[in-house]
Chains A and B, each alone.
Chain A
Protein backbone atom coordinates (compact mmCIF):
# COMPACT_ATOMS: atom_id res chain seq x y z
CA UNK A 1 0.00 0.00 0.00
CA UNK A 2 1.28 3.44 -0.92
CA UNK A 3 2.04 5.61 2.13
CA UNK A 4 0.80 8.74 0.36
CA UNK A 5 -2.29 9.88 -1.49
CA UNK A 6 -1.41 11.83 -4.62
CA UNK A 7 -3.62 14.92 -4.91
CA UNK A 8 -3.59 16.50 -8.37
CA UNK A 9 -4.90 19.73 -9.89
CA UNK A 10 -7.38 20.18 -12.73
CA UNK A 11 -8.43 23.46 -14.31
CA UNK A 12 -10.80 21.95 -16.84
CA UNK A 13 -12.45 18.60 -17.67
CA UNK A 14 -9.68 17.54 -20.06
CA UNK A 15 -7.09 18.21 -17.36
CA UNK A 16 -9.12 16.16 -14.88
CA UNK A 17 -9.18 13.20 -17.26
CA UNK A 18 -5.43 13.64 -17.79
CA UNK A 19 -4.81 13.62 -14.02
CA UNK A 20 -7.02 10.58 -13.44
CA UNK A 21 -5.48 8.66 -16.32
CA UNK A 22 -1.94 9.54 -15.17
CA UNK A 23 -2.47 8.06 -11.70
CA UNK A 24 -3.99 10.63 -9.35
CA UNK A 25 -5.61 9.34 -6.16
CA UNK A 26 -7.68 12.49 -5.93
CA UNK A 27 -8.19 15.54 -8.14
CA UNK A 28 -8.97 19.00 -6.80
CA UNK A 29 -10.79 21.62 -8.83
CA UNK A 30 -12.93 24.75 -8.50
CA UNK A 31 -16.12 26.27 -9.82
CA UNK A 32 -16.00 28.89 -12.55
CA UNK A 33 -16.34 31.91 -10.25
CA UNK A 34 -14.76 33.85 -7.41
CA UNK A 35 -15.27 31.04 -4.89
CA UNK A 36 -11.88 29.52 -5.66
CA UNK A 37 -8.33 30.85 -5.67
CA UNK A 38 -7.69 30.16 -9.38
CA UNK A 39 -10.45 32.32 -10.82
CA UNK A 40 -8.88 32.89 -14.24
CA UNK A 41 -10.56 33.40 -17.64
CA UNK A 42 -11.63 30.18 -19.34
CA UNK A 43 -10.66 28.03 -16.36
CA UNK A 44 -12.60 25.84 -13.93
CA UNK A 45 -15.81 23.83 -13.93
CA UNK A 46 -19.50 24.45 -14.42
CA UNK A 47 -21.89 22.40 -12.26
CA UNK A 48 -22.58 20.08 -15.20
CA UNK A 49 -18.86 19.61 -15.77
CA UNK A 50 -18.36 18.77 -12.09
CA UNK A 51 -21.04 16.10 -12.35
CA UNK A 52 -19.25 14.60 -15.37
CA UNK A 53 -15.91 14.88 -13.59
CA UNK A 54 -17.17 13.06 -10.51
CA UNK A 55 -18.64 10.28 -12.66
CA UNK A 56 -15.37 9.90 -14.61
CA UNK A 57 -13.21 9.92 -11.48
CA UNK A 58 -15.39 7.68 -9.33
CA UNK A 59 -15.64 5.09 -12.11
CA UNK A 60 -11.84 4.82 -11.76
CA UNK A 61 -11.75 4.91 -7.94
CA UNK A 62 -10.38 8.45 -7.89
CA UNK A 63 -11.76 11.07 -5.52
CA UNK A 64 -12.76 14.64 -6.38
CA UNK A 65 -12.19 17.54 -3.99
CA UNK A 66 -13.78 20.93 -4.64
CA UNK A 67 -11.76 23.97 -3.60
CA UNK A 68 -14.04 26.73 -2.27
CA UNK A 69 -11.12 28.43 -0.69
CA UNK A 70 -11.55 32.18 -1.07
CA UNK A 71 -13.09 34.36 1.61
CA UNK A 72 -16.76 35.38 1.14
CA UNK A 73 -17.37 39.07 0.88
CA UNK A 74 -19.51 40.78 3.50
CA UNK A 75 -23.14 40.81 2.45
CA UNK A 76 -22.53 38.36 -0.42
CA UNK A 77 -22.31 34.90 1.11
CA UNK A 78 -24.63 33.22 -1.38
CA UNK A 79 -22.09 32.20 -4.09
CA UNK A 80 -19.89 30.47 -1.50
CA UNK A 81 -22.77 28.71 0.27
CA UNK A 82 -24.24 27.65 -3.07
CA UNK A 83 -20.85 26.25 -4.05
CA UNK A 84 -20.76 24.10 -0.89
CA UNK A 85 -24.36 22.96 -1.45
CA UNK A 86 -23.64 22.03 -5.08
CA UNK A 87 -20.41 20.23 -4.28
CA UNK A 88 -22.30 18.11 -1.73
CA UNK A 89 -25.23 17.51 -4.10
CA UNK A 90 -22.91 16.46 -6.92
CA UNK A 91 -21.15 13.90 -4.69
CA UNK A 92 -17.76 15.55 -4.32
CA UNK A 93 -15.65 13.57 -1.86
CA UNK A 94 -14.55 16.65 0.06
CA UNK A 95 -14.61 20.43 -0.03
CA UNK A 96 -11.49 22.47 0.66
CA UNK A 97 -12.45 25.55 2.66
CA UNK A 98 -10.63 28.41 4.37
CA UNK A 99 -13.25 30.75 5.82
CA UNK A 100 -14.53 30.14 9.36
CA UNK A 101 -18.09 31.12 8.50
CA UNK A 102 -18.16 28.85 5.48
CA UNK A 103 -16.71 25.97 7.48
CA UNK A 104 -19.49 26.50 10.01
CA UNK A 105 -22.10 26.59 7.23
CA UNK A 106 -20.78 23.37 5.66
CA UNK A 107 -20.54 21.56 9.01
CA UNK A 108 -24.13 22.51 9.92
CA UNK A 109 -25.83 21.95 6.55
CA UNK A 110 -23.82 19.01 5.24
CA UNK A 111 -22.70 16.95 8.22
CA UNK A 112 -21.74 14.02 5.96
CA UNK A 113 -19.52 16.13 3.72
CA UNK A 114 -15.82 15.71 4.37
CA UNK A 115 -14.13 19.03 5.16
CA UNK A 116 -10.52 19.82 4.34
CA UNK A 117 -8.84 23.00 5.50
CA UNK A 118 -7.30 24.94 2.62
CA UNK A 119 -3.73 26.15 2.63
CA UNK A 120 -5.38 29.58 2.38
CA UNK A 121 -6.35 29.26 6.07
CA UNK A 122 -2.64 29.17 6.97
CA UNK A 123 -3.14 26.79 9.92
CA UNK A 124 0.43 26.12 10.99
CA UNK A 125 0.21 25.05 14.63
CA UNK A 126 -1.46 22.31 16.66
CA UNK A 127 -3.81 24.66 18.54
CA UNK A 128 -5.26 26.10 15.36
CA UNK A 129 -5.68 22.68 13.78
CA UNK A 130 -7.40 21.28 16.91
CA UNK A 131 -9.79 24.23 16.85
CA UNK A 132 -10.79 23.50 13.23
CA UNK A 133 -11.21 19.82 14.09
CA UNK A 134 -13.28 20.40 17.22
CA UNK A 135 -15.43 23.23 15.89
CA UNK A 136 -16.11 21.99 12.34
CA UNK A 137 -14.99 18.34 12.17
CA UNK A 138 -12.20 19.19 9.73
CA UNK A 139 -10.61 15.89 8.70
CA UNK A 140 -7.57 17.11 6.81
CA UNK A 141 -5.39 20.21 6.84
CA UNK A 142 -3.36 21.40 3.86
CA UNK A 143 -0.30 22.83 5.56
CA UNK A 144 1.04 26.25 4.54
CA UNK A 145 4.42 26.21 2.88
CA UNK A 146 6.21 27.71 5.86
CA UNK A 147 7.13 24.61 7.86
CA UNK A 148 10.28 22.51 7.83
CA UNK A 149 9.88 18.74 7.67
CA UNK A 150 10.90 18.36 11.37
CA UNK A 151 8.25 20.96 12.27
CA UNK A 152 5.66 18.98 10.30
CA UNK A 153 6.71 15.82 12.14
CA UNK A 154 6.26 17.55 15.52
CA UNK A 155 2.90 18.91 14.43
CA UNK A 156 1.65 15.49 13.29
CA UNK A 157 2.72 14.03 16.64
CA UNK A 158 0.45 16.53 18.39
CA UNK A 159 -2.73 16.28 16.28
CA UNK A 160 -4.92 13.47 14.99
CA UNK A 161 -5.95 15.30 11.82
CA UNK A 162 -4.62 14.19 8.43
CA UNK A 163 -2.06 16.52 6.91
CA UNK A 164 -1.50 17.22 3.24
CA UNK A 165 1.55 19.06 1.93
CA UNK A 166 2.51 20.56 -1.40
CA UNK A 167 5.32 18.71 -3.12
CA UNK A 168 5.42 20.23 -6.59
CA UNK A 169 4.61 23.46 -8.42
CA UNK A 170 4.41 27.18 -7.82
CA UNK A 171 5.23 28.72 -4.47
CA UNK A 172 3.49 31.48 -2.54
CA UNK A 173 5.39 33.98 -0.37
CA UNK A 174 4.57 32.15 2.85
CA UNK A 175 1.60 34.31 3.74
CA UNK A 176 -1.12 32.26 2.15
CA UNK A 177 -4.56 33.74 2.59
CA UNK A 178 -3.01 36.92 3.97
CA UNK A 179 -1.05 38.27 1.01
CA UNK A 180 -2.11 41.67 -0.28
CA UNK A 181 0.68 42.33 -2.78
CA UNK A 182 -1.50 41.70 -5.82
CA UNK A 183 -4.42 43.56 -4.22
CA UNK A 184 -2.16 46.58 -3.76
CA UNK A 185 -1.19 46.65 -7.42
CA UNK A 186 -4.54 45.78 -8.99
CA UNK A 187 -7.36 46.46 -6.54
CA UNK A 188 -8.49 42.85 -6.92
CA UNK A 189 -7.82 40.31 -4.19
CA UNK A 190 -6.45 36.77 -4.49
CA UNK A 191 -8.19 35.98 -1.22
CA UNK A 192 -11.61 37.41 -2.04
CA UNK A 193 -11.89 37.28 -5.82
CA UNK A 194 -9.48 34.39 -6.35
CA UNK A 195 -7.21 36.32 -8.67
CA UNK A 196 -3.54 36.73 -7.88
CA UNK A 197 -2.16 38.92 -10.68
CA UNK A 198 -5.41 38.97 -12.65
CA UNK A 199 -4.74 38.59 -16.36
CA UNK A 200 -6.75 41.75 -17.05
CA UNK A 201 -4.04 43.71 -15.22
CA UNK A 202 -1.01 41.93 -16.70
CA UNK A 203 0.89 43.15 -19.73
CA UNK A 204 4.05 41.82 -21.36
CA UNK A 205 6.26 44.17 -23.36
CA UNK A 206 9.18 43.18 -25.54
CA UNK A 207 12.13 45.50 -24.95
CA UNK A 208 14.57 44.48 -27.63
CA UNK A 209 15.54 40.93 -26.74
CA UNK A 210 14.34 41.45 -23.16
CA UNK A 211 10.82 40.93 -21.85
CA UNK A 212 9.18 43.25 -19.33
CA UNK A 213 6.22 42.10 -17.27
CA UNK A 214 3.87 44.72 -15.90
CA UNK A 215 1.14 44.40 -13.29
CA UNK A 216 -1.44 47.12 -12.77
CA UNK A 217 0.82 49.68 -14.41
CA UNK A 218 3.94 48.72 -12.41
CA UNK A 219 6.90 47.16 -14.17
CA UNK A 220 7.65 44.24 -11.88
CA UNK A 221 10.32 42.34 -13.79
CA UNK A 222 12.49 42.46 -16.87
CA UNK A 223 13.86 39.17 -18.15
CA UNK A 224 17.03 39.39 -20.19
CA UNK A 225 17.52 37.72 -23.56
CA UNK A 226 17.08 33.96 -23.11
CA UNK A 227 16.55 34.23 -19.36
CA UNK A 228 13.78 31.88 -18.15
CA UNK A 229 10.65 33.83 -17.28
CA UNK A 230 8.34 33.58 -14.28
CA UNK A 231 4.77 34.41 -13.34
CA UNK A 232 3.87 38.10 -13.25
CA UNK A 233 3.41 38.23 -9.48
CA UNK A 234 4.78 40.94 -7.24
CA UNK A 235 6.27 38.36 -4.88
CA UNK A 236 8.48 37.28 -7.78
CA UNK A 237 9.24 40.76 -9.01
CA UNK A 238 12.67 42.36 -9.12
CA UNK A 239 13.07 45.66 -7.36
CA UNK A 240 15.71 48.27 -6.67
CA UNK A 241 16.07 48.48 -2.88
CA UNK A 242 17.19 51.50 -0.93
CA UNK A 243 15.13 54.05 -2.82
CA UNK A 244 17.03 53.46 -6.02
CA UNK A 245 20.50 53.72 -4.51
CA UNK A 246 21.43 50.35 -5.93
CA UNK A 247 21.60 50.01 -9.69
CA UNK A 248 20.75 46.33 -9.87
CA UNK A 249 17.16 45.16 -9.44
CA UNK A 250 16.97 42.05 -7.28
CA UNK A 251 14.41 39.56 -6.05
CA UNK A 252 13.24 40.74 -2.62
CA UNK A 253 10.56 38.21 -1.69
CA UNK A 254 11.05 35.10 -3.80
CA UNK A 255 12.78 34.00 -6.94
CA UNK A 256 10.82 32.48 -9.80
CA UNK A 257 11.46 28.87 -8.95
CA UNK A 258 9.26 25.85 -8.44
CA UNK A 259 8.80 23.50 -5.50
CA UNK A 260 9.88 19.89 -5.91
CA UNK A 261 10.03 17.83 -2.72
CA UNK A 262 10.58 14.46 -4.37
CA UNK A 263 13.87 13.87 -2.58
CA UNK A 264 12.08 14.32 0.76
CA UNK A 265 9.68 11.37 0.40
CA UNK A 266 11.36 9.31 3.16
CA UNK A 267 11.30 12.32 5.52
CA UNK A 268 7.67 13.14 4.72
CA UNK A 269 6.71 9.52 5.34
CA UNK A 270 8.57 9.55 8.65
CA UNK A 271 6.77 12.82 9.49
CA UNK A 272 3.46 10.95 8.96
CA UNK A 273 2.22 13.17 6.16
CA UNK A 274 -0.91 11.64 4.63
CA UNK A 275 -1.19 13.25 1.23
CA UNK A 276 1.07 14.95 -1.31
CA UNK A 277 -0.30 17.78 -3.40
CA UNK A 278 0.72 19.00 -6.83
CA UNK A 279 0.05 22.68 -7.50
CA UNK A 280 -1.15 23.97 -10.86
CA UNK A 281 -4.87 24.25 -11.59
CA UNK A 282 -3.95 27.10 -13.95
CA UNK A 283 -1.62 24.85 -15.97
CA UNK A 284 -2.43 22.99 -19.18
CA UNK A 285 -3.34 19.34 -19.37
CA UNK A 286 0.07 18.51 -20.87
CA UNK A 287 1.75 19.74 -17.65
CA UNK A 288 -0.71 17.83 -15.50
CA UNK A 289 -0.28 14.59 -17.43
CA UNK A 290 3.52 14.85 -17.30
CA UNK A 291 3.86 15.84 -13.64
CA UNK A 292 1.23 13.45 -12.29
CA UNK A 293 2.65 10.52 -14.27
CA UNK A 294 6.17 11.32 -13.05
CA UNK A 295 5.07 11.55 -9.42
CA UNK A 296 2.97 8.38 -9.76
CA UNK A 297 6.04 6.46 -10.97
CA UNK A 298 8.11 7.93 -8.16
CA UNK A 299 5.57 7.12 -5.43
CA UNK A 300 5.07 3.59 -6.70
CA UNK A 301 8.82 2.98 -6.74
CA UNK A 302 9.09 4.45 -3.25
CA UNK A 303 6.28 2.21 -1.98
CA UNK A 304 8.09 -0.85 -3.35
CA UNK A 305 11.30 0.22 -1.64
CA UNK A 306 13.01 0.84 -4.98
CA UNK A 307 15.13 3.87 -5.86
CA UNK A 308 12.95 6.84 -6.68
CA UNK A 309 13.45 7.85 -10.32
CA UNK A 310 14.52 11.44 -10.81
CA UNK A 311 12.03 13.68 -12.55
CA UNK A 312 13.06 15.51 -15.69
CA UNK A 313 10.65 18.39 -15.24
CA UNK A 314 12.93 21.44 -15.42
CA UNK A 315 11.45 22.39 -18.79
CA UNK A 316 7.99 22.55 -17.21
CA UNK A 317 8.63 24.78 -14.25
CA UNK A 318 8.67 28.47 -13.50
CA UNK A 319 12.09 30.03 -13.87
CA UNK A 320 13.42 26.68 -15.10
CA UNK A 321 14.63 25.78 -11.60
CA UNK A 322 13.41 23.80 -8.60
CA UNK A 323 13.71 24.01 -4.82
CA UNK A 324 12.72 22.13 -1.69
CA UNK A 325 11.56 25.48 -0.30
CA UNK A 326 10.73 25.84 3.38
CA UNK A 327 10.90 22.08 3.95
CA UNK A 328 14.69 22.35 4.17
CA UNK A 329 15.15 26.13 4.49
CA UNK A 330 18.45 25.95 2.70
CA UNK A 331 18.76 29.75 2.92
CA UNK A 332 19.35 29.59 6.68
Chain B
Protein backbone atom coordinates (compact mmCIF):
# COMPACT_ATOMS: atom_id res chain seq x y z
CA UNK B 1 0.00 0.00 0.00
CA UNK B 2 1.34 3.42 -0.97
CA UNK B 3 1.94 5.84 1.89
CA UNK B 4 0.34 9.12 0.76
CA UNK B 5 2.59 11.12 3.11
CA UNK B 6 1.60 14.23 4.95
CA UNK B 7 -1.23 16.15 3.27
CA UNK B 8 -0.33 19.48 4.84
CA UNK B 9 2.56 21.30 3.22
CA UNK B 10 4.81 23.91 4.82
CA UNK B 11 3.13 27.32 4.57
CA UNK B 12 2.71 30.50 6.61
CA UNK B 13 0.34 30.03 9.61
CA UNK B 14 -2.48 32.03 7.98
CA UNK B 15 -2.13 29.98 4.78
CA UNK B 16 -2.27 26.80 6.80
CA UNK B 17 -5.41 28.00 8.58
CA UNK B 18 -6.88 28.80 5.17
CA UNK B 19 -5.95 25.35 3.86
CA UNK B 20 -7.84 23.82 6.77
CA UNK B 21 -10.89 25.98 5.99
CA UNK B 22 -10.82 24.95 2.34
CA UNK B 23 -10.57 21.29 3.30
CA UNK B 24 -13.40 21.70 5.78
CA UNK B 25 -15.49 23.30 3.05
CA UNK B 26 -14.85 20.36 0.75
CA UNK B 27 -15.60 17.93 3.56
CA UNK B 28 -18.81 19.86 4.33
CA UNK B 29 -19.88 19.52 0.71
CA UNK B 30 -19.15 15.82 0.83
CA UNK B 31 -21.13 15.47 4.05
CA UNK B 32 -24.11 17.39 2.65
CA UNK B 33 -24.08 15.17 -0.43
CA UNK B 34 -24.02 12.01 1.69
CA UNK B 35 -26.87 13.28 3.84
CA UNK B 36 -29.00 13.81 0.74
CA UNK B 37 -31.71 16.39 0.08
CA UNK B 38 -33.43 15.85 3.44
CA UNK B 39 -30.81 16.32 6.16
CA UNK B 40 -28.31 17.89 3.74
CA UNK B 41 -30.95 20.38 2.63
CA UNK B 42 -31.70 21.29 6.23
CA UNK B 43 -27.98 21.82 6.86
CA UNK B 44 -27.67 24.18 3.88
CA UNK B 45 -30.89 25.99 4.83
CA UNK B 46 -29.38 26.61 8.26
CA UNK B 47 -26.18 27.91 6.64
CA UNK B 48 -28.17 30.33 4.45
CA UNK B 49 -30.14 31.60 7.46
CA UNK B 50 -26.90 32.20 9.40
CA UNK B 51 -25.40 34.15 6.50
CA UNK B 52 -28.65 36.06 5.94
CA UNK B 53 -28.70 37.19 9.58
CA UNK B 54 -25.13 38.45 9.21
CA UNK B 55 -25.55 40.00 5.74
CA UNK B 56 -29.17 41.12 5.41
CA UNK B 57 -28.44 43.69 2.69
CA UNK B 58 -26.86 41.15 0.35
CA UNK B 59 -29.61 38.61 0.91
CA UNK B 60 -32.31 41.22 0.29
CA UNK B 61 -30.58 41.99 -3.03
CA UNK B 62 -30.35 38.30 -3.95
CA UNK B 63 -34.05 37.90 -3.13
CA UNK B 64 -34.90 40.75 -5.51
CA UNK B 65 -33.19 39.10 -8.49
CA UNK B 66 -35.35 37.30 -11.05
CA UNK B 67 -35.89 33.63 -10.24
CA UNK B 68 -32.85 31.75 -11.58
CA UNK B 69 -30.47 28.90 -10.72
CA UNK B 70 -26.70 29.20 -10.52
CA UNK B 71 -24.51 26.11 -10.53
CA UNK B 72 -21.42 26.67 -8.37
CA UNK B 73 -18.90 23.97 -9.18
CA UNK B 74 -15.76 23.67 -7.05
CA UNK B 75 -13.98 21.34 -9.41
CA UNK B 76 -11.80 19.78 -6.69
CA UNK B 77 -14.67 19.14 -4.25
CA UNK B 78 -16.90 16.07 -3.99
CA UNK B 79 -20.08 17.92 -5.04
CA UNK B 80 -21.39 21.11 -6.59
CA UNK B 81 -23.96 23.57 -5.27
CA UNK B 82 -27.11 24.87 -6.87
CA UNK B 83 -28.04 28.35 -5.68
CA UNK B 84 -31.55 29.52 -6.43
CA UNK B 85 -31.81 33.34 -6.36
CA UNK B 86 -35.01 35.36 -6.38
CA UNK B 87 -38.00 35.08 -4.04
CA UNK B 88 -37.36 31.38 -3.33
CA UNK B 89 -33.73 31.75 -2.30
CA UNK B 90 -32.28 28.29 -1.62
CA UNK B 91 -29.02 26.33 -1.67
CA UNK B 92 -28.72 22.62 -2.45
CA UNK B 93 -25.97 20.13 -3.19
CA UNK B 94 -26.18 18.82 -6.73
CA UNK B 95 -24.32 17.01 -9.46
CA UNK B 96 -21.91 18.80 -11.78
CA UNK B 97 -24.31 18.42 -14.69
CA UNK B 98 -27.35 19.95 -12.92
CA UNK B 99 -29.51 22.20 -15.08
CA UNK B 100 -28.96 25.90 -14.35
CA UNK B 101 -29.20 29.29 -16.03
CA UNK B 102 -25.55 29.99 -15.25
CA UNK B 103 -22.46 28.09 -14.09
CA UNK B 104 -19.30 29.16 -12.27
CA UNK B 105 -16.43 26.69 -12.11
CA UNK B 106 -13.10 26.93 -10.32
CA UNK B 107 -10.99 25.45 -7.54
CA UNK B 108 -12.73 25.37 -4.16
CA UNK B 109 -10.13 27.68 -2.59
CA UNK B 110 -10.64 30.31 -5.30
CA UNK B 111 -14.43 30.16 -5.03
CA UNK B 112 -14.17 30.56 -1.27
CA UNK B 113 -11.83 33.54 -1.77
CA UNK B 114 -14.33 35.01 -4.20
CA UNK B 115 -17.24 34.54 -1.77
CA UNK B 116 -15.30 36.39 0.89
CA UNK B 117 -13.97 39.13 -1.40
CA UNK B 118 -10.35 38.09 -0.84
CA UNK B 119 -9.70 37.99 -4.55
CA UNK B 120 -10.95 39.89 -7.57
CA UNK B 121 -13.28 37.90 -9.84
CA UNK B 122 -12.13 39.67 -13.00
CA UNK B 123 -8.50 38.84 -12.19
CA UNK B 124 -9.42 35.17 -11.74
CA UNK B 125 -11.25 35.26 -15.06
CA UNK B 126 -8.34 36.94 -16.85
CA UNK B 127 -6.02 34.23 -15.50
CA UNK B 128 -8.50 31.54 -16.64
CA UNK B 129 -8.73 30.17 -13.08
CA UNK B 130 -12.46 30.75 -13.16
CA UNK B 131 -14.78 29.71 -15.95
CA UNK B 132 -18.31 30.95 -16.41
CA UNK B 133 -21.12 29.89 -18.71
CA UNK B 134 -24.72 30.90 -19.29
CA UNK B 135 -26.38 34.03 -17.94
CA UNK B 136 -23.45 36.40 -17.42
CA UNK B 137 -25.68 39.09 -15.90
CA UNK B 138 -26.78 36.70 -13.17
CA UNK B 139 -23.17 35.80 -12.35
CA UNK B 140 -22.14 39.46 -12.32
CA UNK B 141 -25.06 40.45 -10.09
CA UNK B 142 -24.18 37.71 -7.61
CA UNK B 143 -20.47 38.55 -7.68
CA UNK B 144 -21.06 42.26 -7.19
CA UNK B 145 -23.61 41.69 -4.43
CA UNK B 146 -21.30 39.39 -2.47
CA UNK B 147 -18.29 41.63 -3.05
CA UNK B 148 -20.17 44.46 -1.35
CA UNK B 149 -20.17 42.47 1.89
CA UNK B 150 -17.43 41.80 4.41
CA UNK B 151 -18.14 38.07 4.38
CA UNK B 152 -16.06 35.54 6.31
CA UNK B 153 -17.73 32.14 6.05
CA UNK B 154 -16.16 30.52 9.09
CA UNK B 155 -16.37 33.63 11.27
CA UNK B 156 -20.04 34.02 10.28
CA UNK B 157 -20.75 30.39 11.20
CA UNK B 158 -18.77 30.72 14.42
CA UNK B 159 -20.70 33.87 15.32
CA UNK B 160 -23.89 31.80 15.28
CA UNK B 161 -22.33 29.33 17.72
CA UNK B 162 -22.61 31.66 20.73
CA UNK B 163 -19.61 31.62 23.08
CA UNK B 164 -17.74 29.29 20.71
CA UNK B 165 -17.21 32.25 18.36
CA UNK B 166 -14.27 33.29 20.53
CA UNK B 167 -12.54 30.02 19.67
CA UNK B 168 -12.18 30.83 15.95
CA UNK B 169 -9.48 33.51 16.12
CA UNK B 170 -7.51 31.31 18.51
CA UNK B 171 -7.92 28.32 16.20
CA UNK B 172 -6.79 30.40 13.21
CA UNK B 173 -3.76 31.72 15.04
CA UNK B 174 -2.74 28.26 16.16
CA UNK B 175 -3.74 26.27 13.09
CA UNK B 176 -0.21 26.26 11.73
CA UNK B 177 1.33 25.06 14.99
CA UNK B 178 -1.31 22.38 15.57
CA UNK B 179 -1.00 21.13 12.00
CA UNK B 180 2.76 21.10 12.40
CA UNK B 181 2.44 18.95 15.50
CA UNK B 182 -0.01 16.63 13.75
CA UNK B 183 2.33 16.36 10.77
CA UNK B 184 5.21 15.48 13.08
CA UNK B 185 3.04 12.95 14.90
CA UNK B 186 2.06 11.43 11.59
CA UNK B 187 5.67 11.12 10.46
CA UNK B 188 6.57 9.22 13.63
CA UNK B 189 3.41 7.08 13.65
CA UNK B 190 3.71 3.43 12.59
CA UNK B 191 2.75 2.88 8.92
CA UNK B 192 -0.64 1.20 9.58
CA UNK B 193 -1.72 4.22 11.63
CA UNK B 194 -0.50 6.63 8.92
CA UNK B 195 -2.47 4.78 6.28
CA UNK B 196 -5.53 4.75 8.52
CA UNK B 197 -5.28 8.54 8.96
CA UNK B 198 -4.99 9.04 5.20
CA UNK B 199 -8.02 6.84 4.56
CA UNK B 200 -10.00 8.76 7.16
CA UNK B 201 -9.05 12.08 5.53
CA UNK B 202 -10.14 10.81 2.15
CA UNK B 203 -13.44 9.58 3.54
CA UNK B 204 -14.05 12.94 5.18
CA UNK B 205 -13.43 14.76 1.91
CA UNK B 206 -15.48 12.20 0.02
CA UNK B 207 -14.68 10.84 -3.44
CA UNK B 208 -14.49 13.46 -6.16
CA UNK B 209 -17.77 13.34 -7.95
CA UNK B 210 -17.46 12.27 -11.52
CA UNK B 211 -13.77 11.47 -11.02
In the bound complex, CA of A15 to CA of B139 (Å): 19
B48 CB to nearest A CB, Å: 18
Indicate whether A12 sits within 8 Å of B147 (C-beta atoms), given known contacts A200-B137, A286-B120: yes
Interface check A13, CB cutoff 8 A: yes
Binding site for B on A (CB under 8 A): 11-15, 40-43, 198-200, 202-206, 211, 223, 226-231, 282-287, 290, 315-320
In the bound complex, CA of A316 to CA of B126 (Å): 8
Could you say which residues of chain B place their CB within 8 Å of the CB of A198? 137
Interface check B184, CB cutoff 8 A: no
Could you say which residues of chain B place their CB within 8 Å of the CB of A285? 117, 147
Could you say which residues of chain A place their CB within 8 Å of the CB of B141? 41-42, 199
In the bound complex, CA of A205 to CA of B117 (Å): 25
Whether the pair A315, B149 counts as a contact (CB closer than 8 A) is no
Could you say which residues of chain A place their CB within 8 Å of the CB of B122? 231, 282-284, 287, 318
Could you say which residues of chain B place their CB within 8 Å of the CB of A202? 136-137
Whether the pair B128, A42 counts as a contact (CB closer than 8 A) is no
Interface check B99, CB cutoff 8 A: no
Whether the pair A200, B126 counts as a contact (CB closer than 8 A) is no
A38 CB to nearest B CB, Å: 10
Indicate whether A284 sits within 8 Å of B128 (C-beta atoms), given known contacts A12-B148, A42-B145, A204-B133: no
Whether the pair A318, B144 counts as a contact (CB closer than 8 A) is no
In the bound complex, CA of A206 to CA of B75 (Å): 15
Binding site for A on B (CB under 8 A): 61, 113, 117-123, 125-128, 131-134, 136-145, 147-150
Which residue of chain B has its CB nearest to the CB of A12? B148
Whether the pair B131, A284 counts as a contact (CB closer than 8 A) is no
Number of A-B contacts (CB under 8 A): 97
Whether the pair A206, B133 counts as a contact (CB closer than 8 A) is yes
Whether the pair A41, B133 counts as a contact (CB closer than 8 A) is no
**Which of A14, A211, A227, A284 lies in contact with B121, CB distance below 8 A?**
A284
In the bound complex, CA of A211 to CA of B139 (Å): 17
Could you say which residues of chain B place their CB within 8 Å of the CB of A286? 113, 117-120, 123
- Of the listed residues A14, A42, A228, the one surrounded by the most CB atoms of chain B closer than 10 A to its CB is A42
In the bound complex, CA of A223 to CA of B127 (Å): 11
**Which of B117, B127, B132, B139 lies in contact with A228, CB distance below 8 A?**
B127
Could you say which residues of chain B place their CB within 8 Å of the CB of A287? 120, 122-123
**Which of B117, B123, B132, B149 lies in contact with A316, CB distance below 8 A?**
B123
- Of the listed residues B61, B134, B136, the one surrounded by the most CB atoms of chain A closer than 10 A to its CB is B136
Whether the pair B140, A41 counts as a contact (CB closer than 8 A) is yes
Which residue of chain A has its CB nearest to the CB of B118? A286
Could you say which residues of chain A place their CB within 8 Å of the CB of B125? 229
Indicate whether A315 sits within 8 Å of B148 (C-beta atoms), given known contacts A41-B137, A204-B132: no
**Which of A13, A43, A229 lies in contact with B126, CB distance below 8 A?**
A229
Whether the pair A315, B123 counts as a contact (CB closer than 8 A) is yes
Whether the pair B143, A211 counts as a contact (CB closer than 8 A) is no
In the bound complex, CA of A285 to CA of B150 (Å): 10
Could you say which residues of chain A place their CB within 8 Å of the CB of B126? 228-230, 317-320
Other 5 A-B pairs with CB < 8 A, given A284-B122, A286-B118, A320-B126: A202-B137, A204-B133, A282-B122, A284-B123, A284-B147
Whether the pair A284, B120 counts as a contact (CB closer than 8 A) is yes
Could you say which residues of chain A place their CB within 8 Å of the CB of B61? 42
Could you say which residues of chain A place their CB within 8 Å of the CB of B147? 11-12, 14-15, 284-285
Could you say which residues of chain B place their CB within 8 Å of the CB of A211? 128, 131
**Which of B118, B120, B121, B144 lies in contact with A43, CB distance below 8 A?**
B144
**Which of B120, B131, B149 lies in contact with A204, CB distance below 8 A?**
B131
Whether the pair B118, A15 counts as a contact (CB closer than 8 A) is no
B80 CB to nearest A CB, Å: 16
A140 CB to nearest B CB, Å: 28
Q: Which 3 A-B pairs have the closest CB atoms?
A: A42-B144, A12-B148, A41-B141
In the bound complex, CA of A286 to CA of B151 (Å): 13
Whether the pair A199, B136 counts as a contact (CB closer than 8 A) is yes
- Of the listed residues B61, B143, B144, B145, the one surrounded by the most CB atoms of chain A closer than 10 A to its CB is B144
In the bound complex, CA of A320 to CA of B126 (Å): 7
Whether the pair B136, A200 counts as a contact (CB closer than 8 A) is yes
In the bound complex, CA of A211 to CA of B113 (Å): 23
In the bound complex, CA of A1 to CA of B131 (Å): 45
Could you say which residues of chain B place their CB within 8 Å of the CB of A42? 61, 140-145, 148
In the bound complex, CA of A44 to CA of B69 (Å): 24
In the bound complex, CA of A43 to CA of B140 (Å): 9
Could you say which residues of chain A place their CB within 8 Å of the CB of B119? 284, 286
Which residue of chain A has its CB nearest to the CB of B144? A42
